[in-house]
A and B are shown apart, each in its own frame.
Chain A
Amino acid sequence: MGYLNTILVLGGIQVIAALGLAILTGYTGLFSMGHSVYMALGGYAAAVLYMELGVPFILALILGALFAGLCSMIIGYPTFRSQLRGDYFAIATLGFAEAVRLVLNNTYKIINGAIGYLGIPKLTSPWLVLIAMLLAFVLAHSFTKSQWGRNCLAVKQDATAAQMMGVNVLKTQMTALFVSAVYCGLAGGLLAFYMAYLTPAMFTVTKSSDLLAAVVFGGMQSLVGPAIAGFVLIALPEILRPLESWRLIMYGSLFVIIMVFRPQGLLGYYELELGRYLAPIRAAYARLGIRRKAKVDAA
């Protein structure tokens, strides 16, 4: 049971982070190679707030997530402001992630550098992760359906055209980055209070490519896809232990194969929506109504 719990919790945490990256990469078209850094920032911030300053657990999680969001602005603003957004941003995120990891690795005050920040109480319960995951999903879904989400899509498809239609490109990209960083920060916080320790080695480039893999496999411009893919990609290696060393080879090859043959990802542009399945029922009901009305009219 404990083993299953661990998979569920780690999977749920990954889902939250993958949802964040889906908003940034899938919906806004920005390629981030270093999103694990926001998990690190959120995790460390939440742990320090709780352990050193006595901030209540849930509040520490939220503040940690917001801290990660604020930190994302440091690279978001200079990179989005420059014209060649995509590549600059990807490199800057990678660089920022490495730089933060270097700082964490060499800060021995309080967080113990590379040795790791130990003694964090295990407060994250499976139920908390489940609630956070559902909440994250609902919020992400309404974000993508809101005007902000539409702006994100417009910027992804054609930034210049979007700007001409009155979309503030810089602001939209900053918003998407902020939201995605907050998501990853929350995931990091939950992870910190589940693992009961933190080391910078938990948030390497490999972690970032795991997140990216969830978005690419699950489908650009989908939330359900990345969420499922994020969960599966965490659960699968646990089940298929012998294949662990092949994991990154498969990820890399699948990136290429998917981009060449099915760039929209597994779920593509389709969102698993309740509405879609209710629509035929509603239509049938409507027809029924018309028939009844016709009967009434005839009578």
Chain B
Amino acid sequence: MTLFFQQLVSGISIGSVYALLAVGYALVYSVYNFTNWAFDAFMVVGAFAGFYTISLAHLPFWLATLVAIIATVLFSVAVERIAYRPLRNRNAPRLFMMISAMGANIALINIMNKAFGGAFRSFPEVTTGSFQLGGVAIGKMDLLAAVLSFAALVGLYLFLYRTKAGLGIRASAIDMTTASLMGIDNDKVAFLIFGVTGGLSAISGVFYGIKYAVYPYLGSMVTIKAMIASIIGGLGSLEGAVVASLMLGIIETMISGYASSIYRDLFSFSLLIIILLFLPNGLFGKKNADKL
């Protein structure tokens, strides 16, 4: 039973990292109807920015996270300007958006590979140690990751549902053309969405880097998992993305705890196919009309 709870704790921690990314996919998808493949690169930008602020400048952890967020937001907004906006403005097919996103991702990751080298770097210890809770060791870092992720998600919820800018984003999600006729600035919405989702992916990058290692290809598997989670939750549904991420994180750590970590990835991909077969709209799949 201890193993179960131990895996549950680490599953929630990894699930919260998935959730940050999956919510990003869902948010971009709900407004622009395309999957932002560049989250992989954004996550790595965040991880590297955080890593170098701590290891070179010796700044405290919270400041490093802030630097990571700022750096990633800049990248995210720049990629939107360069790679997506021209396509969006001329109503290019979604296939082109996806190829452009993929290209931005490949280029950014390999630039970082070239600049920093492909070595695995371990994050300087931020908070070490763990405390016992009924025989289960809860790592302080796991707890911090989960708590900060949920704080970020709650922040996102408040931003979307309690502010005027959030209302604008939700309006754009339903119909971008009509929203822009009502005086909502499409470019501003894009700026906000890519800024916010970039920031979320920076946080996930920092935590994932701390949990494993920092290297240019750190995001490739996690982002696929997060995409799978956002599909399982129903593409475009925020609460679906969060629930599915936690579920996926927990089930995956259970499988690697009780069986083998090889089956973990196989399970996720098979689950994706099964979900697509039987629940093509995901768990929380909604119709186009009531997105977000």
Contacts and interface: CB of A to CB of B under 8 A. Distances in A.
Contact of A255 (B102, B114, B269): B102
Contacts of B93: 29
Contact of A249 (B96, B107, B277): B107
Interface of A is mostly: helix
A31 B99 contact: yes
Nearest to A99: B269
A256 B266 contact: no
A96 interface: yes
Contacts of B29: 87
Contact of B105 (A87, A91, A252): A252
A205 to B, nearest CB: 7
Most chain B beta-carbon contacts within 10 A, residue among A25, A82, A83, A209: A82
Interface stretch (A10-18, A71-79, A137-145): A71-79
Contact of B280 (A81, A248, A256): A81
Contacts of B34: 86-87
A84 interface: yes
B160 interface: no
Interface in A231-265: 245-246, 248-249, 251-256, 259-260, 263
Nearest to A106: B262
Given A31-B99, A245-B114, A263-B96, A88 B107 contact: no
Nearest to A264: B96
A95 B98 CA distance: 16
Contacts of A92: 272-273, 276
A51 interface: no
Nearest to A28: B95
Contact of B100 (A99, A251, A255): A255
A251 B103 contact: yes
Interface string B96-140: 111110111111111100100000000000000000000000000
B114 A246 contact: yes
B103 A86 contact: no
Contact of A87 (B108, B220, B235): B235
A75 B224 contact: no
A249 B107 CA distance: 4
Interface of A: 25, 29, 31, 33, 74-75, 77-79, 81-84, 86-88, 90-92, 94-96, 98-99, 102-103, 106, 205, 209, 212, 216, 245-246, 248-249, 251-256, 259-260, 263
12 contacts: A86-B98, A87-B98, A95-B268, A216-B99, A245-B114, A246-B114, A253-B107, A254-B103, A255-B100, A259-B83, A260-B87, A263-B92
